[in-house]
Amino acid sequence: MHDFEYYQPKSNDELTAVLDRTGGRLVAGGTDVLPRMRRGQLTDACLIDISRLADLRYIRQVDGQLEFGALTTYAELIASPLIQQEAAALAQAAATVGCPQTRYRGTVGGNLANASPAADSAPPLLTLDADVHLFSAKTARAVPLRDFFVGPGKTCLEAGEYIHHVTTMRPSGKWGAAFYKLGKRSGMAISIASVAAYLELGADGRLRAARLAFGSVAPCPVRGSHAEEVLLGKVPSLQLFEQAGRASLADIAPIGDVRASFEYRVHVVPVLAQRVLMTAWQQSEKRSA
C-alpha cells in the first residue's frame, strides 16, 4: 500500500478539525477502503481512521425512531434484539454481507458512504425511510437516504462532513418486512439484485403502507415508487404482487455487468419483488394489530 499521513481522532471535535484541515479520506472497518487502496483505486495522501470513535457505535430507540451510530458493524446489527424485532429486513441484509470476518469489521456508515449500487444495507434502510445524519464542524443536517446517493460511488456528503448516525421509522400495526439478495453464491458475493419490502395492513385488510427498494439494478439503490403506487390501499394478493413486480421495472435502470446481464436482471427483479412481498405479507398477517 502507498504511504499516507495517518490520523486517529479520539473525539468528534478532533475528527472535524482534522477533516477540515486535511480533507483526508475516512476509514472505518476498512473492508472497502483497504482493498481499493491496494488496487491503486484510492491514492489519498491522508487517511483519517475513525474506527475508535466509541460514541459512533450504538443502537437505540429515540422518540419513535430507531437510531444507530455510523460505526455500528453488521455483526452488531445482526446481534441486536432491537434491530431483529423492528428492522428485520436490515438484520437479514446484514447477515448476507461478505462473511463473518467482513461483518465484524464492516460498518453501516461505511456501506452508505461507499455508495455502491449493490450496498446490502441500503434497500432495507430505504424501506424504513431512513435519514442519514451528516455532521461537520459547524453544521448538522439530516438527509433522506433516497437523496443521499447521487450516483455510483457518489453521495451528497460535502467537504468536511461525515456520517454521524442513521435514523429510521419504527414499524407499527400489522407489519411485515423482508429482504432477498440474489448472488452467485451465498458467501462473499456481491449481489446481482437485492430487494427489500415493508408492508403494513390496515384494519380494513388493505395495505396502508407499502415500500419497496432495490439494489444492484440502478446507478444507486432505489425505492420502487411505481410498484408502491400499485400496492397502496389495495388488498394484498399474489396477483397484486405480480402486478407490483411488473410495475417495478419502471423504477429500475439495470445494466449488464460481470455479475449478470441486463436481460437477466430485468427478468429477475419482478420475481424477487413478488417473493419478498409475499414473505412480508405472510408476516403481517401473523402479527396482531
Cβ proximity to other proteins: between 3 and 204 the closer is 3
Cell numbers at residue 137, please? 464542524
Q: Which three cell numbers stand for residue 188?
A: 462473499
Between 80 and 136, CB nearer to other proteins: 80
Please say which residue, 103 or 174, places its beta carbon nearer to other proteins.
Answer: 103
CA distance 124 to 112: 12
Q: In this complex, which beta carbon is closest to other proteins, that of residue 70 or of residue 269?
A: 70
Q: Is 238 in the site for other proteins (CB under 8 A)?
A: no
DSSP secondary structure code for residue 239 in this structure: H
Q: CB of residue 32 vs other proteins: minimum separation in angstroms? A: 9
Positions 74 through 103 that interact with other proteins (CB under 8 A): 75, 98-102
Please give the sequence-ordered ranges of beta strands (E in DSSP) within the chain, or none if there are none: 5-7, 25-27, 46-49, 59-62, 65-69, 131-135, 140-144, 149-151, 154-155, 162-169, 174-182, 193-201, 207-215, 222-223
**CA distance linking residue 7 with residue 49, whole number of Å:** 6
Distances in whole angstroms, Cα of residue 46 to Cα of each of 21, 23, 159: 11, 8, 14
The C-alpha cell at 235 is 388488498
1 binds other proteins (CB under 8 A): yes
Radius of gyration of the chain (CA): 19
Sketch the per residue contact string, 158 through 187, with other proteins: x for CB under 8 A, - otherwise.
----------------------------xx
For residue 49, the minimal CB distance to other proteins (Å) is 6
Q: Is 241 helix (H, G, I), strand (E, B) or coil?
A: helix
Q: Which stretch binds other proteins (CB under 8 A): 48-56, 218-226, 235-243, 280-288?
A: 48-56
Of the candidate residues 57, 59, 87, 105, the single one contacting other proteins (CB under 8 A): 105
Least distance in Å: CB of 35 to other proteins? Answer: 5
Q: How many chain residues are in contact with other proteins, going by CB under 8 A?
A: 31
Closer to other proteins at the Cβ: 3 or 63? Answer: 3
131-160 binders of other proteins (CB under 8 A): none
Subset of residues 3 to 32 that bind other proteins, contact rule: CB under 8 A? 3-8, 27, 29-31
One of 14, 44, 49, 129 touching other proteins (CB under 8 A): 49
What is the nearest approach in angstroms of other proteins to the Cβ of residue 185?
9
Q: Looking up cell 437505540, which residue turns up?
A: 60
Q: Distance (Å, rounded) from C-alpha 148 to C-alpha 112?
A: 9
Q: Is residue 38 involved in binding other proteins (CB under 8 A)? A: yes
Which of 179, 236, 229 lies closest to 207, judged by CA? Answer: 236
**5: which 3 cell numbers?**
499521513
Which residues are bridge partners to 165 per DSSP? 69, 133
User: Where along the sequence are the contacts to other proteins (CB under 8 A)?
Assistant: 1-8, 27, 29-31, 34-35, 38-39, 47, 49, 51-52, 75, 98-102, 104-105, 186-188
